[in-house]
Amino acid sequence: MSLKIALFASGSGSNAENIVRYFANNQHFIFPLIVSNKSDAFVHQRAKNLEIPSVTFAKQQFESGSEIVALLHAYKVDAIVLAGFLLKIPEAILHAFPSKIVNIHPALLPKYGGKGMYGDRVHQAVKAAGENESGITIHYVNEQYDAGNIIFQAKCAVNEGDTVDDIAAKVHDLEYKYFPEVIQTIWG
């Protein structure tokens, strides 16, 4: 039996592409749809290259959630992976997919999470605080930003001379390595 996973992304979609490619020869995991909140996000080009349909919903459509839930049901989606998706998931989607939505955050939650904490903002905060480590957190999604139950964390060193870009590169390496593995572990 296969598991159909919708990927949600707001930006370039490198994590989404990495996940799809990781499971390319695994018939259990199917990615029928990529959803974005930005029509100009590069994830749409990646979706086209991967031959996966992609759609854009405006923020207001996300907030109601009903159109998205209907689309996800039409594609027979079983679970959702947020791969660099920046909008808060509305209750309608949370209720339609209980314990079936996971997110990746580019820091060791509960530190450096919450509304507005994404991308380089997180790495800048880690550097400004003088942290000696950062990493990733993969967690279930609930009604609050970055507050769902933690599934997995991986750490990387933050050295004194590291720039924000250096920290970002280390964190991206962890994302690419572990996100697909964790998806396979929880839903395999």
What is the DSSP annotation of the chain? --EEEEEE-SS--HHHHHHHHHTTT-TTEEEEEEEES-TT-THHHHHHHHT--EEE--HHHHHH-HHHHHHHHHTT--EEEESS--SPPPHHHHHHSTT-EEEEESS-TTTT-STT--THHHHHHHHHTT-SEEEEEEEE--SSTT-SPEEEEEEEE--TT--HHHHHHHHHHHHHHHHHHHHHHHH-
* Cα dihedral sign, 168-103-39-28: positive
Cα 152 to Cα 135: distance, rounded to the nearest angstrom? 11
Cα 29 to Cα 171: distance, rounded to the nearest angstrom? 25
Q: Is 172 noted as a catalytic residue in this protein? A: no
Active-site option among 105, 123, 139, 172 = 105
> Annotated catalytic sites, by residue?
105
